């Protein structure tokens, strides 16, 4: 009897851990400065997380650049090649900014156009608290930007990227792009946080 109770308890704990991992999957974003590990909030932003994980598993983000880098604001990437060519994306997703998550320093959110429900692949990482990006209501101006995770390792890498010199592009759409293209080497889905790689230059 005791053996059965212990077995049942062990199974219950294992199922709980599996559910926790499913609710908060993690991804590792590898760059030449080092790794950024991001924990995703699947319970709060299920469609957004599923969409992001799909792109990550397909290798979509590998070789894309941070094309918009603004100190004291955020770094944005996930849509362009180093030649500043857009990558084709899947259909846009519903804006889940009404999930209660806030655009605080270290959070990751979906970039979009003026249409609240136009996000597809591009994302940004907040380098400061940006409350003006939060959901305020379901009006065109109030929808906000959907947060779906947070950086749990490598925020110093994000800050280094945010400090890169920008400008020099002849295209006015890329005046905030780093002068030297800064690419995401690889994005992989992991089940738990791991020590980041040794920082390189």
The CATH code of the domain that includes 149 is 2.40.100.10
Q: Report if residue 103 sits inside a domain.
A: yes
So what's the pLDDT on residue 19?
A: 38
Which pLDDT band holds residue 191 (cuts at 50, 70, 90)?
Answer: low
**pLDDT tens digits, 30-69:** 999 999 999 999 999 999 999 999 999 999 999 999 999 9
21: confidence class by pLDDT, cuts 50, 70, 90: low
Is the pLDDT confidence value at 195 over 60? no
Residue 154 lies in a domain: yes
Residue 105 included in any domain? yes
pLDDT at position 146? 99
Tell whether 82 is covered by a domain: yes
Compute the Cα dihedral for 28, 58, 91, 75 and give only its sign: positive
> What is the β-pairing status of strands 74-77 and 107-110?
unpaired
pLDDT-derived band at 22, boundaries 50, 70, 90 = low
Query: Would the pLDDT of 159 be above 80?
Result: yes
**Do residues 184 and 65 lie in contact, with contact meaning Cβ atoms separated by under 8 Å?**
yes
Which residue range(s) make up the domain with 86?
24-190
Counting the structural domains of the chain, the total is 1
* Whether 81 contacts 87, CB under 8 Å: yes
Enter the tokens of residue 66.
Answer: 């941070």
Give the separation between CA 56 and CA 29, rounded to whole angstroms. Answer: 9
In the chain, what percentage of residues exceed pLDDT 90?
A: 80
Alpha-carbon gap, residue 21 to 29, rounded angstroms: 18
Q: Please check whether residue 12 lies inside any domain of the structure.
A: no
| pLDDT exceeds cutoff 70 at 111 | yes
Q: Write the CA distances from 122 to 79, 88, 178, 190, integer angstroms.
A: 5, 11, 17, 20
**Is 110:119 a contact under the CB 8 Å cutoff?**
yes
Mean per-residue pLDDT for 89-98? 98
How many angstroms separate the CA atoms of 43 and 61, rounded? 23
For the segment 143-164, the average pLDDT, to the nearest whole number, is: 98
Which one has a higher pLDDT value, 195 or 100? 100
In the predicted structure, residue 12 carries a pLDDT above the cut 70: no
Q: Is 14 helix (H, G, I), strand (E, B) or coil?
A: helix
Lookup: tokens for 59: 């290798």
The span from the CA of 67 to the CA of 53, in Å, is 21
pLDDT(166) > 70: yes
């Amino acid at each position: 009897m005791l053996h059965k109770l212990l077995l049942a308890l062990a199974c219950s704990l294992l199922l709980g851990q599996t559910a926790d991992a499913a609710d908060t999957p993690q991804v590792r974003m590898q760059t030449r400065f080092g790794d950024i590990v991001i924990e995703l909030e699947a319970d709060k932003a299920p469609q957004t997380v599923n969409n992001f994980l799909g792109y990550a598993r397909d290798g979509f983000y590998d070789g894309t650049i941070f094309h918009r880098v603004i100190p004291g604001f955020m770094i944005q990437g996930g849509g362009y090649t180093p030649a500043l060519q857009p990558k084709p994306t899947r259909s846009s997703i519903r804006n889940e900014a009404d999930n209660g998550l806030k655009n605080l320093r270290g959070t990751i959110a979906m970039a979009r156009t003026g249409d609240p429900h136009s996000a597809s692949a591009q994302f940004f990482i907040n380098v400061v608290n940006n409350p003006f990006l939060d959901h305020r209501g379901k009006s065109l101006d109030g929808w906000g930007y959907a947060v779906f995770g947070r950086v749990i390792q490598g925020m110093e890498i994000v800050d280094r990227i945010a400090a890169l010199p920008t400008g020099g592009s002849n295209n006015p759409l890329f005046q905030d792009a780093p002068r030297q293209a800064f690419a995401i080497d690889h994005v992989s889905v992991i089940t738990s946080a791991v020590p980041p790689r040794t920082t390189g230059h």
